[in-house]
Amino acid sequence: MSLSTETPRTVITFGTYDLFHFGHLRILERSAERGTRLVVGVSSDKLNFSKKQVYPAINEDQRMAIVRSLKCVDHVFLEESLELKKFYCEKYNADVLVMGDDHLNEYNEMLEGTCDCEYLPRTDGVSSTAIKRQISSSDSLASQDSEYMPSTEISPSASSGCLNRGQFGADTSADLEKIAAKLLSIPEKCKDATPSEDAAAVTAAYSATNQNLVRTTVQSNPVSAYLVDVHDAYYNWICKVFTPVCRKCPREVTVAGRTLTVFSANIVTYGRGLLAIAIALSMKYNYLAMAAFLVMFHDFLDHLDGVVAKQQAIDGLNKGDDPRFGAYLDAQMDKAVFCLCLWSFLLFVDYGASNAAVSTVVTLTCAVLFSLECTIATVRVTDYFTAKLAPPEQLASGKKPALRSVSEGKLKQKFESVGIAFYCLALPDPSAAILATLAGTICLWFAAHFSVQSLMHKLRAREELEKSA
């Protein structure tokens, strides 16, 4: 901890801290000197993959444990999004953000009025990338710094992927290659892989410890904050309960000598898309309870395809899948199903029997949701192709549109599902089933509220991308 005797001052900093080295230690020590309390955000495995298309050599739990063990560090948390710097600074009451000068002035505007920003020079001649490159080229790690890398036996912790001082004393290229494979968690079969095969291997190494959802903003009122908390807890429960089921389900089956993919995230997504037809037919022929059930079943399948994608990535079964397209398909299928359900509902309302004021409110509510969903869908299309067609140097820089599902977006979908289910029960005369109509309308306006937050998140990410261009 900092030995400063000045007025209490909280310093916050962020980093990956992969293959922890002397440069990491120095910037953390210098950060601690600028206050009385040092809070460190360690980038999650998934965040690092989104920035660099490569997972860290050391997983997030171990990296956090290493940083937490330092005397100069008071608190450690997992950083899930680059766009939440302001949220993290507010949450931990930071007085100053300290970053390396490779981020010079990057956060000044974002954190104006929240905390000060300081940018420290990086330690020359040492970086995790350089260490990895040196391992890969089979050069002796001792040449990095003979004082900190004495030649000794490889300790047991080296074989588990932990980098400690004095673990490297191998004299042959073969030994160094084994060490590199263990440190970088690369399976033997991938060492000679092509770039595309290597990318698939990285995707297969998806960490099961990653948080399922991240948040885009600090909620402005306790009601919406509570709703986000409850939904995240529910979503995590779904993942916990159904992950073992998804693990046991075979992805492929062999029929007449041909191997067919029968269970994947995209197949679940396409399957739930077909439910829109069944929901519309149930409304038309007055099977209203069935229509409401199918809407909520679609909502469950929306969660399930995410569980399937994550588990199959962990198990290495998703080789050849495009995770970016999977996320895009998932988001657009939601919008297609919800819009078709709302449209079907409006078609089957008996406007002659219904109260005019009730019909107006219902129609206005559906129109607002239509507008928001079409707007978000348009932004999603352009963001997807922007990321898909981006040059390699942009992908390497980590500057990309916001494509990942966020808490507010998933909660929006939950309220849409519940709202449409209530509207199904209100057919054909919304004024005659006023309680179902009222409940559905309230849910859909909550959905509109969180739709705006999700949209603003995507537009902020696009603005940051344009600024960096």
Span 384-403, pLDDT tens digits? 887 777 665 555 445 555 55
Q: Is the peptide bond prior to 244 cis by the omega test (within 30 degrees of 0)?
A: no
Q: Please give the residue that has the higher pLDDT: either 291 or 398.
A: 291
Same fold, 1-194 and 222-468: no
The bridge status of strand 96-100 relative to strand 75-79 is unpaired
Is the distance from CB of 286 to CB of 221 less than 8 angstroms?
A: no
Render 81-140 in DSSP notation, one character per residue: -GGGHHHHHHHTT-SEEEEEGGGTTTTTTTTTTT-EEEEEPPPTT--HHHHHHHHHTT--
Distance (Å, rounded) from C-alpha 418 to C-alpha 439? 9
Rg, Å, the chain Cα set: 26
Is the distance from CB of 207 to CB of 55 less than 8 angstroms?
A: yes
- pTM confidence score: 0.57
pLDDT at 380: 87
The bridge status of strand 96-100 relative to strand 252-255 is unpaired
Distance (Å, rounded) from C-alpha 220 to C-alpha 104? 30
Least confidently predicted of 1-15, 65-79, 384-398:
384-398
Question: What mean pLDDT comes out for the span 223-239?
Answer: 87
H-type alpha helices, 249-322: 265-284, 288-314
Question: What mean pLDDT comes out for the span 194-220?
Answer: 49
Question: Any residues with CB less than 8 A from the CB of 230 and at least 6 apart, and which?
Answer: none
Distance (Å, rounded) from C-alpha 383 to C-alpha 454? 14
- What residues form DSSP beta bridges with 99? 119
Q: Just list the catalytic residues.
A: 51-52
Distance (Å, rounded) from C-alpha 463 to C-alpha 61? 32
Computed from CA positions of residues 434, 435, 436, 439, in that sequence, does the dihedral angle turn out positive or negative? positive
Domain boundaries, the chain: 1-194, 222-468
pLDDT at 258: 86
Q: Name the residue among 296, 350, 307 with its Cα closest to residue 330.
A: 307
Q: Would you give the DSSP letter of residue 154?
A: P
Distance (Å, rounded) from C-alpha 133 to C-alpha 205? 20
Tokens of 10: 């909280």
Question: What mean pLDDT comes out for the span 20-33?
Answer: 89
Distance (Å, rounded) from C-alpha 304 to C-alpha 310? 10
CATH code of 222-468, in short, is: 1.20.120.1760
Does domain 1-194 fall into CATH 3.40.50.620? yes
What pLDDT band is residue 203 in, cutting at 50, 70 and 90?
A: very low
What pLDDT band is residue 139 in, cutting at 50, 70 and 90?
A: very low
Distance (Å, rounded) from C-alpha 272 to C-alpha 392? 34
Distance (Å, rounded) from C-alpha 26 to C-alpha 22? 6
Q: Name the residue among 191, 194, 171 with its Cα closest to residue 181.
A: 191
Q: Quote the percentage of the chain above a pLDDT of 70.
A: 73
Question: Any residues with CB less than 8 A from the CB of 221 and at least 6 apart, and which?
Answer: none
Q: Indicate if the pLDDT at residue 184 is higher than 50.
A: no
Tokens of 22: 């002397």
Q: Indicate if the pLDDT at residue 173 is higher than 90.
A: no
What pLDDT band is residue 212 in, cutting at 50, 70 and 90?
A: low
Question: Order of strands, edge to edge, in the sheet holding 116-120?
Answer: 75-79, 37-43, 10-15, 96-100, 116-120
Distance (Å, rounded) from C-alpha 187 to C-alpha 182? 8
Q: Would you give the DSSP letter of residue 44?
A: P
pLDDT digits (tens, 9 = 90+) for 74-133: 999 999 888 888 889 998 899 999 998 888 888 888 898 899 999 988 776 666 666 665
* Residue 270 falls in which region: left (phi positive, over 0), alpha (psi -120 to 50) or beta: alpha
Tokens of 358: 């009730």
pLDDT at 165: 32
pLDDT digits (tens, 9 = 90+) for 307-353: 888 888 777 677 667 777 888 888 899 999 999 999 999 999 999 99
